[in-house]
Structure 1
């Protein structure tokens, strides 16, 4: 089974923007030729208006006529080559989005909200039972997304342990062997869930996939459906887990902003949007620039620079999210800030369909967390928290907190 490259939400988080190149920091508004970690040339685009516009430009896409020979960000893993371009690629992508969109409908997610609240309450019960110095990542951030996905996919409790393990292995981007092991376990299991739902439909994602297979088995092959399901799962675990960690670090480190949300819980939604905007962070000490990858399907002129067909474009959502011409004091956390939609979920044809579920988890968690642990703080300096991926500033391997 081939798992497609990460779109939308997962791309926006996995392809965190690392500022700086051998030529120094890139100024806003420039389109600069740079070199990726795999040694390939790429065009780095940084200002907010241009990044947002190019995210919706159909001339830039995730496809390439020669994926094996195309420039890329990294040599392996989900940072790999583009998808194979075919005459039907755009239509196939639209059909897949429609199918996944049904699985992530507003009605289904609304029905999931009470269960997410129960899961959050249970995890915070575990945190409260721990000594008043505990690892928030291990007790809350890491288990929450897999538990929510268990509900979305109808995974039985007695199969949940293996399911969670495969998920965590599959997002080990810095450990290719572990990642392959996770995908190898996850793929046949998801196929098993789909086959079960052919006989016994339920209101979950495998049921939607089973219905598509029954309706049009030649197009919706089991391999294609399994790939779609794995993409939903991968997009729903690592990025959400990382956003929780990043958001807690930022919010708990700012006593005034933490107090504002504690005293006015209705600010939680604003706070989550602001934290997502800021979570396109940089990795200290790294000099490799990258962003959300797109490949030119034809020659494109951007700010006077001609990008040739087949070349790689990196849309720098960190720089765009910190563009002072778009937002005042862009590096400052302001939970009262409104009207600044984060770019982390992408835009246009590849806007992440899982964005509402990610937002729901973050909002429920932080509203409940601040109410139950009003004095929570980091137990170590923020600079001492180690990233779970040594190449990227994504999430953490541990998040010591006290209250």
Structure 2
């Protein structure tokens, strides 16, 4: 790994050399074309040829070390994606739309009874994804507060003991749940995965636990952040709000713009340069950058989504933007399998809000909420709304 101590100078637009918060060199990718190319490149992965000496972004539980092995990562990733596709297909997500609508209506009923201003983050953004992923995986609804708390702990970038505890608690809980479902299967993704394990041997019970733990975490945290961002953007831009509130059929296009746009919340210095963590498995020449085998690559999808060569006037929040080929869910073979479910959740919520809360507005317009510090996912301390 000698080359990591002697990084080359900054190179082409959209890719530059940086030093991570952990003190290691990395390539920061912010251009759309380079980001899309690297996200789809089979020579780039989450594993590292020398994991003990791999460069790091930070010491966080999620980003502090490589995963898997170079020799098997590609085939293992393809196999696990086939399994996840069973739970996260577009058809399965659409089949859940009526249930998601019921959950959304119930949470909005509860919101309407709260004193104003009310905290939308606590009342809707946090519980909705937890309820949805609980239904998908067959997690008892009464356990949602526990796994939501553990999921929250896991995202801490600076409190490593708290992050480790959250990860271990989630894994232990899921181990018990998988064992219980083996004896009493239900109509849920975990039972479905167990039937595959029993029928074909394609997946082991330990892998079902690992996969379900990841789905429980990822399906909750990222959607919470997207809901918060959507509320801030839609209520913070009067023209966009008026358009969607006048015609809720614009909600699907508005959701895509929410996914593309930057969050109005302040940036956390601890995660300012954070991107999708990847390692080069071979020497690459992407956009003129001399990326070498073993190099750390941070793909900033949010920056790529602001590339003016792809998104005209990228800083403008335009709920009718078309086309909108954002990279928020990734690209190529690593495209997020949970994208269909996340889209359904966001579409249901943002098409229902205009009908249920025609006067919904931010309680403190022009004053972005403070971001919870040291978190990998951008959650506000409070998201106060009134109506």
Instruction: Answer yes or no: same fold by TM over 0.5.
Output: yes
5 Å-filtered alignment, 1:2-401, equals 29-216=13-200, 220-279=203-262, 283-284=266-267, 286=269, 288-390=272-374, 394-401=378-385
Q: 1:211 to 1:301 in 2, by over 3 A?
A: same
Distance 1:393 1:203 in 2: 31
Are the equivalent residues in 1 in contact too, given 2:330–2:336 (CA < 8 A)?
yes
Shift of 1:50: 1.6
- The unaligned stretches of length 5 or more in structure 1 are 1-25
Alignment coverage as a number of residue pairs? 377
Shift of 1:174: 4.1
Q: 1:86 to 1:312 in 2, by over 3 A?
A: closer
Q: 1:272 to 1:321 in 2, by over 3 A?
A: same
Shift of 1:376: 1.4
Structure 1 stretches of 4+ moved >6 Å = none
Q: For residue 267 of structure 1, give the secondary structure of its aligned residue in structure 2.
A: helix
Comparing 180-189 with 224-233, greater Cα deviation is found at 180-189
Shift of 1:29: 2.4
Distance 1:31 1:220 in 2: 38
Q: For residue 202 of structure 1, give the secondary structure of its aligned residue in structure 2.
A: coil
TM-score (norm 1): 0.87
Q: For residue 294 of structure 2, give the secondary structure of its aligned residue in structure 1.
A: coil
Distance 1:390 1:242 in 2: 15
Greater relative CO, 1 or 2 (CA 8 Å, sep 6+) = 1
**Cα deviation digits, residues 325-349 of structure 1 (max 9, x gap):** 1111100011111221221111112
**Cα deviation digits, residues 351-398 of structure 1 (max 9, x gap):** 110011111111101111122112211112454411124366712121
What do you get for the CA RMSD once the two structures are aligned?
2.2
Shift of 1:33: 0.9
Distance 1:324 1:146 in 2: 35
Distance 2:148 2:203 in 1: 26
- The unaligned stretches of length 5 or more in structure 2 are 1-9
Comparing 317-326 with 118-127, greater Cα deviation is found at 317-326
Q: For residue 298 of structure 1, give the secondary structure of its aligned residue in structure 2.
A: coil
**Cα deviation digits, residues 202-245 of structure 1 (max 9, x gap):** 2211112211332355x633322211111111111111101111
TM-score (norm 2): 0.91
